[in-house]
Amino acid sequence: MKKQFAVIGLGGFGEAVAVELMRLGHEVLGVDSDPDKANHLADKLTQTVIANATDEDALAELDLHRFDAVLVAIGAHIEASILCTMMVKSQEAKEVWVKAITPTHHKIVEKLGADRVLHPEYEMGLRVAQSLAHPNMLDY
């Protein structure tokens, strides 16, 4: 069944998730404050919006409660990630996943109610180690 997702932050990680969700047949709204990032994906996602995800009014216009899940993929700007997560939660989004880059960042967004906290580089590192150690096992 077709689902609706919102990806906030279209860096390398957010872009990969958003484009793969489209490939899997879902609808994806991409949001980034950098016009270059949003414009670059304009033809590849269902909709892209240039917006500062720490701006309460801008975020409110996105009606995030209508999505099956919202991914906050702002990493390096920890303060922006925390503020955004807080506001996404207050919009009562059904499922909120957040990329974190430090243990403190992880703890804060978890406390704010993130349903899942991701550490893409660490998690990928574990998978690569497993693939190197067991090259014949299927990776998907």
Say whether 41 sits in a helix, a strand or coil.
coil
| Closest approach of ligand ATP to the CB of residue 107, in Å | 18
Assess 79 for contact with ligand ATP (CB under 6 A).
no
How many Cβ atoms from other residues are within 10 Å of residue 26's Cβ?
17
| Closest approach of ligand ATP to the CB of residue 91, in Å | 15
Name which of residues 81 to 140 contact ligand ATP (CB under 6 A).
none
| Closest approach of ligand ATP to the CB of residue 49, in Å | 9
Name which of residues 20 to 49 contact ligand ATP (CB under 6 A).
31-34, 37
Distances (CA, A) of 123 to 50, 59, 113: 29, 29, 21
Q: Which residue is nearest to ligand ATP (CB)?
A: 11
Total residues found in the chain within this entry: 140
Q: Which of 118, 77, 17 is nearest to 30 (CA)?
A: 17
Assess 76 for contact with ligand ATP (CB under 6 A).
yes
The residue within the footprint of ligand ATP, chosen from 52, 91, 110, 119 (CB under 6 A), is 52
Contact predicate 99/9, CB 8 Å: yes
